[in-house]
Structure 1
Amino acid sequence: MIRATALALLLAGTAFSAQAQDLVIRGGPIYTGVQTAPTAEVVQVRNGRISYVGAAANAPDAAGLTPVDLNGAALFPGFTDGHAHLDGIGWRELTLNLEGSTSVADAMNKLADWARAHPEGPIIGRGWIETHWPEGRFLTAADLDAAAPGRVVLLSRADGHAVVASSAALTAAGIDGATRAPAGGEILKGPDGRPTGLLVDAAEQLVAGLAPQADPAATREAYRAGFRVEAAYGWTGVHFMSAPWRDIPLLEQMAEAGEAPLRVYNSVTPDGAAELIAGGPRNVADGRVITRAIKYYADGALGSRGAALFAPYADRPDTTGLMQISETEIVPLYESALRGGIQIATHAIGDRGNASVAEWYAEALEAVPASERPNGVNVRWRIEHAQIVRPQDYHRFRELPIIASMQPSHAIGDLHFAPARLGDARLDGAYAWHSLSDLGVIVVGGSDAPVERGAPLIEFYAAVARRDLSGFQGPDWRPNEAVDRATALKMFTLWPAYASFREDELGTIEVGKRADLTAFSVDLMTAPFADIPLGHATLTVVDGVVVYRAD
């Protein structure tokens, strides 16, 4: 299966080249995503668009076309990661990566090794998660101090909703036992009243100023690294959530310079909201980078108990989670976005968070009639994660409507702790891809990388198998919420295209559409579930350009 240690092998494939070629692709099963003609034998590409799809016997003359032999690999419409953090994917490759750490001790050994290799400056890292650790606890400042004495260390939990800071970092930020957490945040404290080092959600901002500000060259290299990783996985595009507003010009410059091999659909941080609304959607390099959405946060994450619930956490009855914004703050912002023709994507994980966002969406939509919106009724607003939803609230997604942007791998990771957090009854509305899609709700599949590994094969497997990578499902983990393979394919192809207003150009293999294509070594539509995450991408094509090919 695709893990961090295998990434170097993936990246050994053919690098991105901006040189477009007219192609004829054959030699393996081809799945078009078109219900009336689901399979084909040959695909031809001319001038970056699909010019023929169908039987080999009926194919036009291929003279002048560059042949691409699939060698048995299966071809699909280009896979799009419907929710990822492109900058974080790149920085994961350039900073301390604690993904896969097996214990507190293992994570701290990695920190100590990094500190020795990088003796100067703050240490920044992410990727740790305690739910599988034998110690069964969060990291603390004391752990960091022992591994990297005297150093400023900031290590983000895998979900990005909590950071553990060393004592030196806490001191530098002026955090002590008397420090009060900001609204929407929590400073964990021990029995002695002193901070443990763990800062949750909004409290993370207390130490944000300690992280070194990357210079433009370093930021550009992080995006290059992110592009390399995503192309090697087989993604042809990414919906970039919480795209830093300050980085939008850089991404646009990269696209215009031919340095953006994949499509990027930006949902920007709130600091860019006013300017984006005033200026309207941005589109450069023939749609290679589009910016037309704003990302807000309603609550936190389940793992760090920041997701907002109606009832207390089953394993910590003193809390119901943390709302990050209020109705009075957010609804006027939503109304402004409606009038400016800007899409809204709001992070909501807990059942209270999701219900609140649905209510706020409805309030804004009622306040701004369709006649006052550039997009009319076609606003396509999204809830990012939609992780825990009361079944009685499913109808809100269908009726408003709301796009449910969900990440299947969360369910196969969270199955190890979500029952303890939620209790059994609330699992009825947890990770409910099937229930929502069965109601006609558009369910966009994504990875949330670098929170998760970010591999499309893991995401597809999670959607159809609803088991972790070892095959474990656990007792009554609502197996009925797994989706069929055809639905899973839409989640990563046609439905992300719809969510970015591009279903007429992307999402299926049809004549006239842009030639965004992904081939995998495993046939996702027929292979045993357990074989799916063992495969790898063999070909990634964007606008007819081969941006990755396995050697």
Structure 2
Amino acid sequence: MTSLTTGLILLRGGRVYTPAAPDATAMVVRGDTVEWVGTDSAAQVAYGDAADQVIDLDGALVTPAFVDAHVHLTSTGLALSGLDLAGCRSLAEALDRLARHAREHPGEVICGQGWDETDWPEGRPPTRAEIDAAAGDALVYLSRVDVHSAVVSSALLAAAPGIQQADGYTEDGWLRREAHHIARRVARDAITPGQRRVLQRAALRRAAELGIGALHECGGPEISGEDDFTDLLRLAGEEPGPEVYGLWGELGAVDKAERLGAHAVAGDLCCDGAIGSRTAYLREPYADAPDTRGARYLTAGDVAEHLVACTRAGVQAGFHAIGDAALDAVVEGFAKAAQVVGEAALVAARHRVEHAEMADTDLIAAFARYGVIASVQPAFDAAWGGPDGMYARRLGAERALAMNPFAALAAAGVPLAFGSDAPVTPLDPWGAIRAAVYHHNPDQRISARAAFTAHTRGGWRALGRDTEGVLRPGAPATYAIWQVGELVVQAPDERIQAWSTDPRSRVPGLPDLSPGVAPPRCLRTVVRGRIVYTREGALE
């Protein structure tokens, strides 16, 4: 269902998550705007029988729709409808999936993603020879879960002139750095515009089903290409669904970003790679590969020049930076830029950094000083944190424990915007909130309220829209309706996972996110008054 609600709509008989009235059970929407929130009885007094439509919530919870602050929607569509290698428990299983997909799709280019060798008994990715044996002469591109390296077939290498001389090339087919960028372009160019549209629609549909009302698409010349980026923005603008805001990751490309319709010259403008692929740029070598500290793609000078250009143009800038050495370069770049445009101008511009997984105390203090927004992904800790996780294997226990410092960032006053980096981790906003609340390091846990804010208002704040992401009179009618159990309020100490149902708290309750408790189920998603998803049979 994708229709614009008209007239006066009264939602009643549920619970509304709003700071305007902690005990609210009803909400009134007129067109694309929230007009009123309060109790059922107060709604009757204020509006009587004036509503053109009454929706009985039957105890459901109404919240602001989520914002996913870091996605790659075409690749997410591939993960939803193509060859998904996430969850493969062994190299053998991954090769079996590849072989089956090749048999079922003869003559097609195969783009798969999501493999992660760290927990496989074989302890390694597929080789080019194994891919050729499984898929024959098909052109095959299989990206690792972090999408910063890939394994490819001989046919793809033959279609990529010069790749053997590129940095990061290996004979066994596992490609990193520039060689990976070349291979990704070959695979990307093999997807037709029609196929791309199908993939993008699938990703947007899935987002709507999960109560996501807006997404930050991270594109760039090495990520998705101009056609993919502009086609997605056009599709999202023409068809009802979640809103899409484009971040174009190219150094100094202020004019190009404007031409492409981008909101910012930011996102995956990569200073380094990723921990899993050992391309994140570190101060000290990897624990499991002492001969490397990863890859540096931008210098502090590059960062400074980009910041100055964007700040002067009144455009948000941003960078992908994971390793501590890469974050050092970002912070040094901010210091250099401040000497040119001034600290106040940098703060006002609300520049952003994606991931910031290895930010330490000094780096966090610099983020706060320069007004940096941290666009972070709690699911990374859920997937790779802990004493036996990928972080610990790549970095050692001490460095792994300090990863993804959400509580330290929040305590320093650094604004947080939560995302998934889908398809690196799936679209799953409630799962991200749970991951932040139950971070592997208890010292880095944040409250459910803080996490929910980061996944709603935080995403809007990262776009410079401070009035959105909250349900109160005058706000946009962008919301989701959820089937939930009992609502709870987290104890004041953010590191003690205790919950209360005491109504005297005067704090709006959220679903119980304790481990083992089923997440809320989305019944409806509304974007600026337009229904973009309704679960079959719900709210009738």
**Does the aligned pair in 1 maintain the 2:2–2:240 contact within 8 Å?**
no
Q: Distance in 2 between matches of 1:245 and 1:501?
A: 24
Residues 1:217 and 1:18: Cα distance change in structure 2 (over 3 Å): farther
In 2 relative to 1, CA 407–209 (structure 1 residues): closer, same or farther, beyond 3 Å? closer
Runs (5+) with no aligned partner, structure 1: 1-14, 189-194, 283-289, 467-476
Give yes or no for contact 1:79–1:235 (8 Å, CA) kept in 2. Answer: yes
Check the 8 A contact 2:219/2:229 in 1, yes or no: no
Give the aligned residue type for 2:174.
L
Partner of 2:370: 400
Counterpart-to-counterpart distance in 2, 1:483 and 1:333: 32
Kindly tell me: are residues 112 and 519 of structure 1, through their superposed partners in 2, closer, same or farther at Cα, counting changes over 3 Å?
same
Identity of aligned residues (%): 32
Q: Equivalent residue for 1:537?
A: 522
Structure 1 residues 293 and 537: CA distance shift in structure 2, 3 A = farther
**Relative to structure 1, is the Cα distance of residues 89 and 17 closer, same or farther in structure 2, using a 3 angstrom cutoff?**
farther
> Are the equivalent residues in 2 in contact too, given 1:314–1:422 (CA < 8 A)?
yes
Residue 231 (structure 1) aligned to one of 194, 208, 221: 208
Which residue in 2 is equivalent to 1:297?
Answer: 270
Name the aligned partner's letter for residue 187 of structure 1. Answer: Y
RMSD: 2.4
* 1:246 alignment counterpart: 227
C-alpha change, 1:526 and 1:209, in structure 2 (3 Å) is: closer
Distance change (3 Å), C-alpha of 1:255 and 1:422: closer
Amino acid at match of 2:266: I
**333, 340, 352: which one aligns with 2:325:** 352
SS at match of 1:270: coil
* TM-score scaled by length of structure 1: 0.85
For residues 530 and 325 of structure 2, the distance between their equivalents in structure 1, rounded to whole angstroms, comes to 44
CA contact (8 A) 2:236 2:244 kept: no
2:10 corresponds to which of 14, 24, 35 = 24
Shift of 1:397: 1.4
Deviations 1:313-348 (A, max 9, x none): 111111111111223434322221111111112101
Q: Does 1:170 align with 2:157?
A: yes
The 10-residue stretch of structure 1 (56-65 or 425-434) with the greater mean CA deviation from structure 2? 56-65
| Cα offset, 1:19, TM superposition | 5.6
Matched, 1:527 2:508: no
CA distance 1:364–1:337, shift in 2 (3 Å):
same
The structure-2 alpha-carbon separation of the partners of 1:118 and 1:478, relative to structure 1 and needing over 3 Å to count, comes to same
Matches within 5 A, 1:398-477: 398-415=368-385, 416-466=389-439, 477=440
Which shows bigger deviation, 361-370 or 73-82? 361-370
Q: Distance in 1 between matches of 2:92 and 2:395?
A: 29
Q: Match of 2:92, SS?
A: helix
Higher relative contact order (CA 8 A, sep 6+): 1
| Runs of 4+, deviation exceeding 6 Å | none
1:157 partnered with 2:156 = no
Structure 1 Cα separation of the partners of residues 217 and 198 of structure 2: 17
Residue among 157, 168, 172 paired with 1:196:
172
**In the alignment, residue 544 of structure 1 is paired with which amino acid?**
G
Q: Which residue of 1 aligns with 2:480?
A: 518
CA gap of 1:356–1:272, structure 2 versus 1, over 3 A, is closer
Partner of 1:72: 59
For 2:151, what is the secondary structure of its paired residue?
strand
Secondary structure at the residue paired with 2:276?
coil
DSSP-derived class of the 2:191 partner: coil
SS of residue matched to 1:82: strand
For the residue of structure 1 that corresponds to 2:515, the secondary structure is helix
Match of residue 329, structure 1, among 292, 297, 302: 302
Flag the 1:262–1:142 CA change in 2: closer, same or farther, 3 A.
Answer: same
The equivalent residue for 2:492 is none
Q: CA, structure 1 residues 344+271, in 2 after alignment: closer, same or farther (shift >3 Å)? A: closer
**Is contact 2:233-2:245 (8 Å) kept?**
no
1:78-93 alignment runs, 5 A limit: 78-93=65-80
Q: Which aligned pairs between 1:138-153 and structure 2 lie closer than 5 A?
A: 138-153=125-140
Deviation at 1:245, TM superposition (A): 3.4
Corresponding residue number in structure 1 for 2:360: 390
Partner of 1:273: 253
The one-letter code of the counterpart of 2:483 is S
Shift of 1:246: 3.1
